[in-house]
Amino acid sequence: MKQKYTKTSNPLLKLESNTNAHNLNYICPMILTDTHSHLYDSKFIDDQKEVIQRAFEEDVNRIFLPNVDTNTVLGMLDVVKQYPENCFAMMGLHPCHVKENYREELKELKSHLDTNSFCAVGEIGMDLYWDKTFLEEQKAAFRTQIHWAKEKKLPIAIHCRDAFNEIFEILEEERSEDLRGIFHCFTGTLAQAKRAINLNLYLGVGGVVTFKKAGLDKVIQQISLKHLVLETDSPYLAPSPNRGKRNESSYLIHIAQKIADLHQISVAEVAKITTENSKTIFGF
């Protein structure tokens, strides 16, 4: 039964049924989880509080913040300090920030990981889209941070761009019962999706699933919701109808609606399943 999301005056979900058998409107609580959002980014410097409030108003009450490098740690932790019941920090070195000094960056980030509480190791992985100069360094940094996750028994949040083969090679070598996490911003094929799932990874589905020509919708339509989580990757990759604008966590509702349409279920059910998946991954 396909049901459309309608915003109500309170933080609950209103579902309108179009079927003859269920011709009544009803209301049920909903909690959406954004598993990947850079709310501490400088693009939010002027209206961060308003952005976060809008997320709450759209029932996005759980927001997970991936780190980028040593320069983003304090801003990220400040958001968590302001919203300890809603925002949760990860620790990691983004592959695009793996340069000549990556060992020094990793050393400082590891000290944060050892002395503070984090929900995951991320955002880590490989990115060969812009530059392959630091290919070997990216591989080494990725592997090192996987070891951190195993040591701390934490999930990982994987960034992958033009690097599926390299990512899968390392994941296969490091495969163990302790290794789990999210394949952030998944945009691969059905075969790659199944391979990631087989490695104990959930697929992070973001704004790309709403893009008409991306083709990701056809892949996600064939994947059970038990393997999916939602994300915005804000301020990047805003979903339609906001494509091209600054993304924010409140836009997660558009991604949830798209997945609901693809699987012919309600947005409330998408929220329920994907939030439960996030709890399985992060442990809360």
Per residue in 175-230, pLDDT (tens digit) is 999 999 999 999 999 999 999 999 999 999 999 999 999 999 999 999 999 999 99
Domain residue ranges of the chain, discontinuous segments joined by +: 31-282
Give the pLDDT of residue 53.
98
In this prediction, residue 19 has a pLDDT band, given cuts at 50, 70 and 90, of: very low
Name the pTM for this structure: 0.91
273 pLDDT exceeds 70? Answer: yes
Which fold would CATH assign to domain 31-282?
A: TIM Barrel (3.20.20)
Give the pLDDT of residue 155.
98
Convert the pLDDT of each residue in 50-96 to its tens digit.
999 999 999 999 999 999 999 999 999 999 999 999 999 999 999 99
Mean pLDDT for the stretch of residues 234-247: 97
Give the pLDDT of residue 32.
98
| Mean pLDDT for all residues in the chain | 92
In this prediction, residue 12 has a pLDDT band, given cuts at 50, 70 and 90, of: very low
Cβ(30)–Cβ(4) below 8 Å? no
Mean pLDDT for the stretch of residues 230-240: 98
Give the pLDDT of residue 29.
74
Residues 6+ apart with CB under 8 A from 116: 77, 89, 91
Mean pLDDT for the stretch of residues 253-277: 98
Cα 202–Cα 276–Cα 149 angle in degrees, nearest 5: 50
Give the pLDDT of residue 192.
98
9 pLDDT exceeds 60? Answer: no
Give the pLDDT of residue 223.
98
Cβ(232)–Cβ(251) below 8 Å? yes
Task: Please give the full DSSP string across 134-191, using - where no structure is assigned.
Answer: THHHHHHHHHHHHHHHHHHT--EEEEEES-HHHHHHHHHHH--TT--EEETT----HH
